[in-house]
A and B are shown apart, each in its own frame.
Chain A
Amino acid sequence: MENRIGNDGIKNVIECKGISKYFGEGANKKEVLSTMDLSVKENEFVVILGPGQSGKSTLFRMIAGLEKPSTGHIYVNGKEVTGPNPVIGYVFQRYTLFPWKTVMENVEMGPKLKGVGKKERREKAQYFINLVGLNGFEDAYPHQLSGGMKQRVGIARAYANDPEIMLLDEPFGQLDAQTRILMEQEILRIWEKEKRTVCFVTNNIDEAIFLGDRIVMLEGKLPSKMKKIYNVDLPRPRDFTDLAFLELREEITGETELAL
């Protein structure tokens, strides 16, 4: 299949065409997502905003190839997704560090699986460990790290595998408010330095506006649908107290209240 070009001439790296998802059969059938179309452009920062249990993770798992859509098709770089594909880097909602590996061993895992030599992959891992600000913790085991640090390792691990697309599934959901804001700034810094397409799931409106080029809002109740898309044209770094920020926030909040 050809690379699809959007009407503004920029390549669409992710395209979801009429996808839906249900789990179970017969009486246990549970519809999670109903027909949804979504495309994400190269180097775009897209935020998926939706309340808890609205199928955000399910959507990501389908894009990542960990789950098959019940109907419809997903294309990444123009090729239909049939299984996990390392052009996608996934930062999971729950910390999924390998507990028996040190920070360094976790981060170098992607290159190692590809058969990259030890010296080379260490260098690469070290670069990303430094980038997320964990230098000095290379030999620590995950259980010795705080939640924020674990999530940084997860991010470094995903980046070290050289993905073209990053999927971040509520990466900061388990962090306290202060660490969270810090990490949000951090993620933008990394994004600017390591330009990639980023899709980011959150249930936090401020986080969504602070980060996204575009915000895709999901319906609250199952089966979840795409409700609205907001383009956020504010310049970065964005200010939570900026008037335009607050107006957009107001608008989105109004939408979610309607949904409730």
Chain B
Amino acid sequence: MSKILEANPNTEVLEGARSSFSIKKILYNKYVLYVISICLFLIVLDLFAVLQVFGNFMPRPIEVLTTLINMTVTPLAGKTLPMHLWASLRRVLIAFAIAVFIGVPVGVLMGFSSVANAIISPIFHLFKPMPPIAWISLAILWLGIGEASKVFIIVIGAIVPCILNSYNGIRLVDESLKDALRMLGGNRRQEIIEVIFPASFPAIFAGLQISLSMAWTTVLAAELVGAREGMGFIIVMGMNLSKPSMIIAGMIVIALTAFMISMAVNYLERWVCPWKTELETTE
């Protein structure tokens, strides 16, 4: 039909074709489809719940909503939902700060010095394949079940992208930019300040971004084992109390937080490196 449309744009046939086309168009509109999709999704969930496909373990969407509202005001284990969220966020922020504080300098050092790299990188690659969560038992053994062991695990998870991206960022700085600076009379110190640091900045920043989302994932895992507060604790409580609506409410908050973190970081990125758009469009 669309072929006819192109061939003779002024005929009678066309009018009819166009009107039928427009119904199709409405159906094919992305946003209409999005709304349909979400409605269908909720209806199917509701049906699953009502028909008890998963027994009692699939709550109705409306139940989740009331639980969510309920949890924001009534404390659970002495804390309301925002307080639990803050407990998790606090762990993430502390661990993230430690990871950046250690990881970025280590990565930068590795990027600058092939000797440092030869010493550190084999050890790094020895530890890297072990998922951070696998450290949990040792962490508890060493640091007890409190805050320290949780922060430790998150640091393990968050430090990897910090090191890797700083290392690669420094190492992969475009040689021709260094040449350009040298031809303008720059010495080694100026080369580092004027070229190597700014050129590796986007890569390092991307590392921090990955590191932060890694930290958010890891905090949940850490809180699944022996926590008294935090979002991980909430979903474990939901499991122990057989309250799936609590679990799902927790998951929603977790997902929203993850989403907001990544939005915030993206915004920050555009603000701190406005030239970055080039790297995305030309690469």
Contact = CB atoms under 8 A, between A and B. Distances in A.
Asked if A and B form a direct contact in the complex, defined as CB atoms under 8 angstroms apart, the reply is yes
Interface stretch (B101-109, B159-167, B195-203): B195-203
Contacts of A158: 183
Given A86-B185, A113-B194, A141-B275, A92 B281 contact: no
A199 to B, nearest CB: 14
B18 interface: no
Given A109-B194, A141-B275, A84 B281 contact: no
A92 B179 CA distance: 9
Nearest to B176: A96
B278 A98 contact: no
B184 A92 contact: no
Given A92-B179, A94-B176, A99 B278 contact: yes
A109 B181 contact: yes
A50 interface: no
A161 interface: yes
Contacts of B179: 61, 66, 84, 90, 92, 96
Contacts of A118: none
Contacts of A157: 184
B275 A143 contact: yes
B22 interface: no
Interface string A107-146: 0011001100000000000000000000000000111000
Nearest to A110: B184
Nearest to A67: B179
Interface in B211-237: none
Contacts of B174: 96
A57 to B, nearest CB: 11
Given A92-B180, A109-B194, A113-B190, A100 B275 contact: yes
A50 to B, nearest CB: 20
Interface residues of A, number: 25
A33 B199 CA distance: 33
Interface string B266-281: 0000000111011101
A88 interface: yes
Given A99-B275, A143-B278, A113 B199 contact: no
Contact of A96 (B180, B185, B190, B281): B180
B199 A100 contact: yes
Nearest to B201: A100
Contacts of B184: 86, 109-110, 113, 157, 161
A143 B176 CA distance: 17
B183 A64 contact: yes
A99 B183 CA distance: 17
A171 interface: no
Interface in B251-283: 273-275, 277-279, 281-282
B186 interface: yes
A86 B182 CA distance: 8
Contact of B180 (A61, A88, A90, A141): A90
Given A92-B176, A143-B282, A98 B185 contact: no
Contacts of B186: 113
Contacts of B176: 92, 94, 96
Contact of A143 (B195, B198, B281): B281
A98 B198 contact: yes
B44 interface: no
Nearest to B274: A141
A120 B276 CA distance: 30
A199 B277 CA distance: 34
28 contacts: A61-B179, A64-B183, A66-B179, A66-B182, A83-B182, A86-B184, A90-B179, A92-B179, A92-B180, A94-B176, A96-B177, A96-B179, A98-B194, A98-B195, A99-B199, A99-B275, A100-B198, A100-B273, A109-B181, A109-B194, A110-B185, A113-B190, A114-B185, A141-B274, A143-B275, A143-B278, A143-B281, A161-B184
Interface of A: 61, 64, 66, 83-84, 86, 88-90, 92, 94, 96, 98-100, 109-110, 113-114, 141-143, 157-158, 161
Given A98-B195, A98-B199, 14 more contacts: A61-B179, A66-B179, A86-B183, A98-B198, A99-B279, A100-B198, A100-B273, A100-B275, A110-B184, A113-B181, A141-B274, A141-B275, A143-B278, A157-B184
Q: What are the 9 A-B residue pairs with the smallest beta carbon separation, nearest first?
A: A143-B278, A86-B185, A84-B182, A96-B180, A110-B184, A90-B183, A100-B198, A100-B275, A96-B176
